[in-house]
Amino acid sequence: MKKDTLLEKIKDLSDLDKHQEIIDMIEGLPTEQLNNEIIGQLARAYINVQNYEKAIEVLRSIEKDEKNTMLWNYRMGCSYFYLKDYEKAEEYFLKAYNLEPEDENIKDFLMDIYINLSKQVKFGEDDLDNQKKALNYALKAKDYMTTDDKKIECYSYLAFLYNKFTDYHTAENLLKRAISLGRDDLWIHSELGYCLGELNKLEESLEHYLKVIELEPNNIWALSQIAWTYRCLGKYKEALKENFKALDLGENSEWVYVEIGYCYKELNNYDKALKYYLEANKISKDKNVWLLSELVWLYDGIGKYENALEYLKKLEKLGRDDSWFNSEYGFCLIGLKKYNEAIEKYKHALEKENNLKEIIRYNSQIGFCYRLLGKYEEAIENLKKVLEIINGDKTNDNTDEKIFLNSQIGWIYGKIENDEKLKKELEELKEMVNMLYHPS
């Protein structure tokens, strides 16, 4: 068979996707009818039947003569690409690109190679070296974008990486570029909604989450994100509505119960807040420190101090021992009329607190406990300490503390009618308080 006739036959069979027939035909030819072009067509047919190892073997047989041609490097690159050996594929496609830099198929393969090389890099949250490596591959992919579809693919992947690396501003710009080129699907609006939420652009974030729901009305993740966004905007009733939709669709997670509980708490419906927080705690099995702390706060807030104490002890087992924990413990113990124990907790809270306003509050509570114990001398000493701290605080208003001090002074005064020494100290203290807030 003449060469031209053979090549025409190969083309016809290729157009009909009859690649195995091409293989059988070429391999049945006598050696004298074979040349590099025919052998190259054999390799191409092996690529099309997904026998990439055999394609490489065939191409190796003509490497000496063809290694500096675009077509040979292209076919070698294709074979390694489909074998997922992207580093080898990169090597051959770069050679093909240098020979024919305007070929769009080569550019498309190079873009895909660099995106796949990026995806192969495993990295953790603090693994900056591998994060940089993954990003550098993805940025190389950007150099080989051709059509709008390829640009959308590349921008979307880069945005995904930048979101991972918490560079939300860059991610936002890339996602919006992808949308401007025509991408309008669930993924792009989900990713941009998340990105904008992290940038605290909550209203804009909400728009994209709502588009996700337009595309997929029962998307539980999007409903949860919409609820979270409404909650962050202070729209607690709207947030509850979306959370209950997610709940009805089967989202019985700790997250959704916590979100519902939090919204009810902000709406001052503590009973319902407790109901859903307790459901969340069944799932977390007393392991969520934040949730246990919320339960303590709610139980203290409605005066159920025994219940609050139960969860304080659970928090203690988990190791919470900061100023908030100890002050809340103290507050609970006051409610249980265990004033000496409350004083110790507030003293421990003071050891861990740097905020001046909180230091004033804790000392005031200690004075309050001494007063309730009938230890008026200690109470007066503590009130003096509070006054000294307030006097040194040039940043806060402390009006509430003034009211508290005056109420304590008035209460103690009524209890020590026959103690002239203490009465004199109280009069001096009251005068100092009034001078502090009404200087001449």
Q: How confident is the model at residue 3 (pLDDT cuts 50, 70, 90)?
A: low
Q: Is the pLDDT of residue 440 over 60?
A: no
Distance CA 320, CA 218 (A): 39
The dihedral formed by the CA atoms of 176, 182, 187 and 192, expressed in degrees to the nearest 10: 10
Amino acid at the residue 440: S
pTM of the model: 0.81
Distance CA 150, CA 152 (A): 5
Q: What is the pLDDT of residue 422?
A: 57
In terms of phi and psi (left: phi > 0; alpha: psi -120 to 50; beta: otherwise), the region of 50 is: left
Tell me the average pLDDT across 337-360.
94
Tokens of 386: 């509070």
Residue 70 DSSP class: H
Distance CA 253, CA 266 (A): 20
Q: How confident is the model at residue 357 (pLDDT cuts 50, 70, 90)?
A: confident
Q: In this predicted structure, which of 213-222, 318-327, 387-396 has the lowest mean pLDDT?
A: 387-396
Q: Is the pLDDT of residue 411 over 90?
A: no
Tell me the average pLDDT across 94-116.
98
Tokens of 8: 């025409």
Question: From the CB of residue 429, how many other CB atoms can be counted at a distance below 10 Å?
Answer: 21
Tokens of 392: 């040194």
Exposed e or buried b for every residue in 388-414, given b needs 16+ CB within 10 A?
A: ebbeeeeeeebeebbebbeebbeebbe
Tell me the average pLDDT across 80-91.
98
Nearest to 211 by CA among 189, 191, 243: 189
Residues 6+ apart with CB under 8 A from 177: 151, 155
Tokens of 106: 């080569």
Q: Is the pLDDT of residue 296 over 80?
A: yes
Cα end-to-end span (Å), the chain? 117
Distance CA 332, CA 343 (A): 11
Tokens of 11: 């083309």
Distance CA 206, CA 223 (A): 10
Tokens 């509430």 locate to 400
Residues 6+ apart with CB under 8 A from 119: 134
Tokens 């080569």 locate to 106
Residues 6+ apart with CB under 8 A from 385: 363, 367
Q: How confident is the model at residue 436 (pLDDT cuts 50, 70, 90)?
A: very low
Q: What is the pLDDT of residue 175?
A: 98
Tell me the average pLDDT across 396-415.
69
Q: What is the pLDDT of residue 420?
A: 63
Q: Is the pLDDT of residue 419 over 90?
A: no
Exposed e or buried b for every residue in 335-365, given b needs 16+ CB within 10 A?
A: beebbebbbbbbebbbeebeebbbbbbbbbb
Q: What is the pLDDT of residue 14?
A: 80
Q: 3-state class of 347 per DSSP?
A: helix
Chain-centroid distance, C-alpha 307: 33
pLDDT above 70 as % of the chain = 90
* Radius of gyration of the chain, Cα coordinates, nearest whole angstrom: 37
Q: Is the pLDDT of residue 203 over 80?
A: yes
Q: Is the pLDDT of residue 380 over 90?
A: no
Q: 3-state class of 296 per DSSP?
A: helix
Tell me the average pLDDT across 68-95.
98
Q: What is the pLDDT of residue 351?
A: 96
Q: What is the pLDDT of residue 439?
A: 36
Q: In this predicted structure, which of 81-90, 102-111, 116-125, 392-401 has the lowest mean pLDDT?
A: 392-401
Q: Is the pLDDT of residue 93 over 80?
A: yes
Q: What is the pLDDT of residue 403?
A: 67
Distance CA 277, CA 261 (A): 5
Q: How confident is the model at residue 72 (pLDDT cuts 50, 70, 90)?
A: very high
Q: How confident is the model at residue 424 (pLDDT cuts 50, 70, 90)?
A: low
| Cβ–Cβ < 8 Å for 343, 367 | no
Q: How confident is the model at residue 410 (pLDDT cuts 50, 70, 90)?
A: low
Tokens of 368: 């309050």
Distance CA 280, CA 302 (A): 20
Q: What is the pLDDT of residue 438?
A: 36
- Per-residue pLDDT tens for 136-155? 999 999 999 999 999 999 99
Amino acid at the residue 400: D
Distance CA 438, CA 440 (A): 6
| Cβ–Cβ < 8 Å for 362, 355 | no
Q: Is the pLDDT of residue 435 over 90?
A: no
Q: Is the pLDDT of residue 127 over 50?
A: yes
Q: What is the pLDDT of residue 278?
A: 98
Q: What is the pLDDT of residue 426?
A: 53
Apex 394 CA angle, 390 and 398, nearest 5:
45
Q: How confident is the model at residue 421 (pLDDT cuts 50, 70, 90)?
A: low
Q: Which residue has the higher pLDDT, 411 or 375?
A: 375
User: Whole-number mean pLDDT of the chain?
Assistant: 91
- Domain extent listing, the chain: 147-217
The continuous run of DSSP H or E covering 188 comes out as helix 186-198
Tell me the average pLDDT across 315-322.
97
- Per-residue pLDDT tens for 231-247? 999 999 999 999 999 99
Q: Which residue has the higher pLDDT, 266 or 400?
A: 266
Fold assignment, 147-217 = 1.25.40
Tokens of 151: 């640009």
In terms of phi and psi (left: phi > 0; alpha: psi -120 to 50; beta: otherwise), the region of 147 is: beta
Tell me the average pLDDT across 104-127.
95
